[in-house]
Structure 1
Amino acid sequence: MAAGRSLALPALLAATAGVARAEGVARAEGDACGGDAPPIAVLVEGATPELERAIFVDLAAELARTDLCARLEAGASPDARGAGHERAIARVTIRISPEGVAAVRVDDAMTQKRLERTVDVAGLKDDGRALALAIAADELLRASWVEPTLRRRAAMASAAPAPTAPAGGPREAPDAGGGADRRATEIGVRATVAAYGGGQVQLGGALLLRRDVLPWLAGSVFVYAREALPASAAIGTVLGHAAGGGASLSAYVARTGRARLGFEAAVEAGYVLFEGRAEEGASASRFGGPTAFGALGVTADVDVRPVRFGASVGALAPFMMVEALAGDAVVTRMGGPGVLAALGAGVAF
Structure 2
Amino acid sequence: MRLLSSSPPQPRHPPLRPLRPTAPRPSAHPPGSPIRYLQGQQPLPLLVSSAARDVTLSKILDLVARTRLRLGPDADEDEDEDRPRKRRRQEEEPDLLAHLASQAALQRTIPPDDPLPSNPRRDTILAEFDKELCQELTCDICSNLFYQPVTTPCQHTFCSKCIQRSLDHQPTCPLCREELPGYSYFQDHPLNEAIYSILLKACPESYAARKAAIEQEERDAQLDTPIFVCTLAFPGVPLNMHIFEPRYRLMLRRCLGSSCPSFGMTLPPQAGIASYASDYGTMCEIHKVEMLPDGRSIVYTVGSYRFRILARGSLDGYTVAKIERTPVAFNIISLALVVSGKRPKSRYRTLTIKNLPSTNS
Scaled by the length of structure 2, what TM-score is found? 0.25
Identify the structure with the greater strand proportion.
1
Scaled by the length of structure 1, what TM-score is found? 0.26
Identify the structure with the greater helix proportion.
2
Work out which of the two has the higher radius of gyration on C-alpha atoms and give 1 or 2. 1
